[in-house]
Amino acid sequence: GAVVSQHPSRVICKSGTSVKIECRSLDFQATTMFWYRQFPKQSLMLMATSNEGSKATYEQGVEKDKFLINHASLTLSTLTVTSAHPEDSSFYICSASTSRGSSEAFFGQGTRLTVV
């Protein structure tokens, strides 16, 4: 299967700072990338969908000014958590697909963010 690389796998930051998470598709062109957040013992919650070269579509309740998504190329999308607070501590996961009808979404390894 296709490989999606997510970096960093773990990050600890101070409250008020910003953190950038990268998601790269290594061996395919990802027209669409998805960003999820997962709290302990809960399922994946879609935060936003990004298409290469256009603005991301955010889910209801997700602040676009706080969670900045950039999908500048077909192999790279970034999520920046701005002015992080302890309640932003969570597991963030990206996934990528080659098309809307793709039969599989490929996931990155996830990023464990802890804001202290």
Partner 1 sequence: GQNIDQPTEMTATEGAIVQINCTYQTSGFNGLFWYQQHAGEAPTFLSYNVLDGLEEKGRFSSFLSRSKGYSYLLLKELQMKDSASYLCAVKDSNYQLIWGAGTKLIIKP
**Interface pick for partner 1 out of 8, 26, 104, 114 (rule CB under 8 A):** 104
- The answer to whether 78 and 56 have CB atoms below 8 angstroms apart is no
Stretch that binds partner 1, among 60-68, 72-80, 82-90, 107-115 (CB under 8 A): 107-115
| Residue 17 to residue 81: CA distance in whole angstroms | 8
User: How is residue 2 written in tokens?
Assistant: 């296709």
Please select the residue that binds partner 1; options are 46, 62, 74, 76, rule is CB under 8 A: 46
- From 12-20, 64-72, 75-83, 93-101, span contacting partner 1 (CB under 8 A): 93-101
Pick between residue 78 and residue 111 the one whose CB is nearest to partner 1.
111
State CA 83 to chain mean position distance.
17
The residue (of 10 and 64) whose beta carbon lies closer to partner 1 is 10
Tokens of 34: 């998805």
Hey, what are 84's tokens? 């992080």
